[in-house]
Amino acid sequence: MTIVEKHLRPGVLVMELSGRISSLNECQEIDRHVSQHIQRGDKHLIFDLTAVNHVDSAAIGQIVKSHSSLKKSGGMLRLAGPNAMVAGVLRLTHVDQVIEVFPTAAAASESFPAEK
């Protein structure tokens, strides 16, 4: 798994994830990135899943944990671009009913309130 970070607009950070998200090490890496951004005051994160080809229960757990951590800090998490397999897992686990899923990171970015 790799993570590339970029800002789409002020206050909105995209974490472009790629490859497989299926091990404790990968989940811990995601958790470290999210924790760092919360400490910096970043409130709006998007996990761009376009290049993710596999997720397992550990990955789903980490997505939910990231959502919870951001929500507790006054922030929000959005998911973007999951392929059919990943989208199916999100539906099966009902994560898509808790965290909004968008076709693209740009669409997810527009769902956040404007920064003041």
CATH number of the domain within which 54 lies: 3.30.750.24
User: Which residues form the domain of 9?
Assistant: 2-97
Burial of 82: CB neighbours in 10 Å, binned 0-12, 13-18, 19+ = buried
The pLDDT score that the predictor gives to residue 79 is: 98
Residue 114 domain-assigned (yes or no): no
Residue 107 resides in a domain: no
pLDDT in tens, 1-47: 999 999 988 889 999 999 999 888 999 999 999 999 999 988 899 99
Confidence category of residue 114, pLDDT binned at 50, 70, 90: confident
Which residues, at least 6 apart from 33, have a Cβ–Cβ distance to it below 8 Å?
3, 5, 15
> What is the rounded average pLDDT for all residues in the chain?
94
Total of domains in the chain:
1
23 versus 97: which is more confidently predicted? Answer: 97
Q: Return the ∠ at Cα 115 (arms to 42 and 44), rounded to 5°.
A: 35
Flag whether 113 is in a domain: no
| Gap between the Cα atoms of 41 and 12, Å rounded | 11
| pLDDT given at position 77 | 98
Query: In the prediction, which pLDDT does 22 show?
Result: 87
